[in-house]
Amino acid sequence: MLRLLLPLAALAALLRAANVPGRSFGIDYESNSFVKDGKPFRYISGSIHYSRVPSYYWKDRLLKMKMAGLDAIQTYVPWNYHEPQMGTYDFFGGKDLEYFLQLANDTGLLVILRAGPYICAEWDMGGLPAWLLEKKSIVLRSSDSDYLEAVERWMGVLLPKMRPYLYENGGPIIMVQVENEYGSYFACDYDYLRFLLKLFRQHLGDEVVLFTTDGASQFHLKCGALQGLYATVDFAPGGNVTAAFLAQRSSEPMGPLVNSEFYTGWLDHWGHRHSVVPAETIAKTLNEILARGANVNLYMFIGGTNFAYWNGANMPYMPQPTSYDYDAPLSEAGDLTEKYFTIRKVIGMYKELPEGLIPPTTPKFAYGKVRLQKAGTVLEVLDGLSRSGPVRSTYPLTFVELKQYFGYVLYRTTLPKNCVEPTPLSSTLNGVHDRAYVSVNGVPQGILEREKSLKINITGQAGANLDILVENMGRVNFGRYNNDFKGLVSNLTLAEDILVGWEIYPLDIDGAVNYDIIYPLPNQNTSAVKALSYEVPTFYTGTLSIPGGIPDLPQDTYVNFPGWTKGQIWINGFNLGRYWPARGPQLTLYVPRNVLVASVPNNITVLELERSPCSAQACDIEFVDEPNINATLLHETEKPPLFIREMWTKHL
């Protein structure tokens, strides 16, 4: 009850503070400065995404940011995180944005709120809800009437919640960003930006500073800036700071200089090396920015984790891994790094650092190996995963048409003819979004993958079940192709024949895990199965018991997957995310302590999609005390250049 009352108490405190005179935040164009409570003000801020950090650790991370010398934090609001189904809103538990804002306020941090509706953020579909795609022709991030109607409804829920937390009303929010890097989008729809400006003013009033963020070039600012929204830029360390701020001056001849995304690291993709940016490079450019009296936000100060299915992707299709470590000053697990202290030292050259102790790195514990047992293939437990049964259709339906927005869908038809000899099964229009695990009568055949593997050979008798488990690996978050439909988005062909007569099973695996529908079956001997290059997608379960007699357990840990290939893992029903050690660079997944319990064994469920080690070696996963997100594997390509999105320019 106390936890439920806290947001109400916090709101009451903010409303009382609203009567305190003298609180103001604005822009003094003549002095090229922000003004806070009537005095010139320059902020040094850092990005933290509350959706990527367990709420259990919000206070710890915020305090570490405060002790680094930051004045403010910057955070995105992912629309799809809070409105998973049209008209269904979720601001509870780890999604309690108001509680997060109150914690920031209590910590003495101001807040720069990036309210969307689009956020990018390497987050699924850039934060836009997939249900928008139920209108196939919708033009996202434009004046499309259906899109604007949905945006207006959402902002009518979000922004009134935010208004009491504005600085002028006693809260921490000093600025609110409208849209995100719109100058990098093909639509260039000024009417859309005007609509958002009017909508934000309607709900937030005329006093709060509204702003935009775009790349530091006139090309990006041309379509990203709008009169009435203060234009800021983003740019990376190691570049020409003077030229970058001159680009901002092309849109804002007067006013404060602002780098809204000063990159402390860079994003990762499966199959590429982990991005690393030297602390010295960041320190040098940060010093140049601060020496000019400019405002800066360090993106990211802590990256966090893409739990469950929340990772995004870029084009050509490259999904991002579960870790969003970003090589940030605070690691994915909130650990203090050399980069943290290097940045803190630079900040200390320009302002007085707060007194007191910096919260230490949280302890990690290696719980060791856990033996798993086979609990059945997806096909064997299908009835429990798809309680409503199949949807029948002549041609395949997409995830959105099934109102299944994340996870997995099983597509089933029968072979129309004998395939005694290997026969090509093809996705000629690149219609597998994103990865498909193919079997015939329970015998694995191979994998189709978006833009990588469009054809495999299969064998089987006429009338045999052809089962295709399709994984949504994350929607495109940047550029024009974020209307990213999932599933079989075009027909499959067997030789020259289009396959028809589908039974389509939306799978509620998260629900099945939470309701203990997946459990070890009798006579499941995991060691007697012949090792195959592919196995059908299979569930494995086990338990982790926290050792007794050791104080302060449970602690954070990392789970490693020796010999496993690709899949998903849940602990006590919590979806930790995807593992893919066969492709890397991430080998371990972060397990925050709040997921674990000491009083009873912790239930573990693993969905291995391709091949487990259980037929050739121990059927184990291992809990270790150090992460490995930078494995040197046989990567498909060399590391892409840092801070460069030009490789995706044709997809803008």
Q: Could you tell me how many residues make up the chain?
A: 652
The amino acid that residue 381 corresponds to is V
Collapsed DSSP state (helix, strand, coil) of residue 516: coil
The interaxial angle of helices 97-107 and 145-162, nearest 10 deg, is: 40
Identify the bridge partners of residue 75 per DSSP, sorted by sequence position. Answer: 113
In the structure encoding, which two tokens stand for residue 468, read together?
């295709």
CB 418 within 8 A of CB 424: no
Cα gap 407→194, rounded to integer Å: 36
In the structure encoding, which two tokens stand for residue 322, read together?
């579960």
Catalytic positions? 181, 261
Cα gap 247→343, rounded to integer Å: 25
Phi, psi torsion values for 503, nearest 5 degrees: -110, 125
In the structure encoding, which two tokens stand for residue 126, read together?
């850039």
CB 204 within 8 A of CB 232: no
The amino acid that residue 444 corresponds to is P
Burial of 549 (0-12, 13-18, 19+ CB in 10 A): exposed
In the structure encoding, which two tokens stand for residue 248, read together?
């901002």
Cα gap 542→606, rounded to integer Å: 9
Cα gap 330→340, rounded to integer Å: 6
Alpha carbon separation from 601 to 56, 337, 520 (Å, rounded):
21, 33, 16
Collapsed DSSP state (helix, strand, coil) of residue 325: coil
The interaxial angle of helices 338-348 and 279-291, nearest 10 deg, is: 20
Placement of tokens 């538990």 in the chain: 93
